């Protein structure tokens, strides 16, 4: 699944049969809730992350904070301090300019690696 925003300020969530086939109904429905929380965040705050607001809503909605992967990412965003890794499937802002962002867990610098698989 993918949350995207375009210049018209539309928020798009793309659902794939591959994700549904791979995850099954329970996990897939949790992933849909996860993405809807991100859409709400973007609508309300102009950005979406996995920070405090997100966690508060995932806890209230009994929804997973992290989604199960159903395909290999194209890039890894890696924290140089704590080693945290985030999968990225599209060339997002953080993939293009990791120097403008910091780790949500420890505040460390980020770097991007192309995924090998």
Identify the pLDDT of residue 110: 95
Identify the pLDDT of residue 46: 82
- Condensed to tens digits (0 to 9), the pLDDT of residues 47-63 reads 888 888 888 888 888 88
Buried b (16+ CB within 10 A) or exposed e, 1-15: bebeeeeeeebeeee
Identify the pLDDT of residue 86: 85
- Condensed to tens digits (0 to 9), the pLDDT of residues 5-58 reads 444 567 788 888 888 888 889 888 888 888 898 888 888 888 888 888 888 888
DSSP assignment of 11-75, as one string? EEEE--HHHHHHHHHHHHHHHHHHHHHHHHHHHHHS---SSHHHHHHHHHTT--SSPPPSS--SE
d(CA 2, CA 101): 20
pTM exceeds cut of 0.75: no
Residue pair 64/58 in contact (Cβ under 8 Å)? The answer is yes
Identify the pLDDT of residue 8: 54
Identify the pLDDT of residue 73: 87
């Amino acid at each position: 699944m993918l949350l995207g925003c375009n210049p018209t300020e539309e928020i798009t969530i793309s659902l794939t049969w591959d994700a549904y086939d791979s995850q099954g109904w329970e996990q897939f429905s949790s992933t849909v809730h996860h993405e809807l929380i991100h859409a709400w965040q973007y609508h309300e705050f102009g950005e979406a992350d996995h920070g405090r607001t997100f966690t508060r809503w995932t806890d209230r909605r009994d929804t997973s904070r992290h989604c199960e992967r159903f395909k290999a990412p194209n890039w890894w965003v890696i924290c140089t301090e704590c080693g945290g890794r985030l999968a990225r499937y599209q060339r997002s802002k953080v993939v293009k300019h990791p120097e403008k962002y910091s780790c949500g867990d420890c505040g460390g610098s980020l770097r991007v690696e192309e995924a090998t698989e």
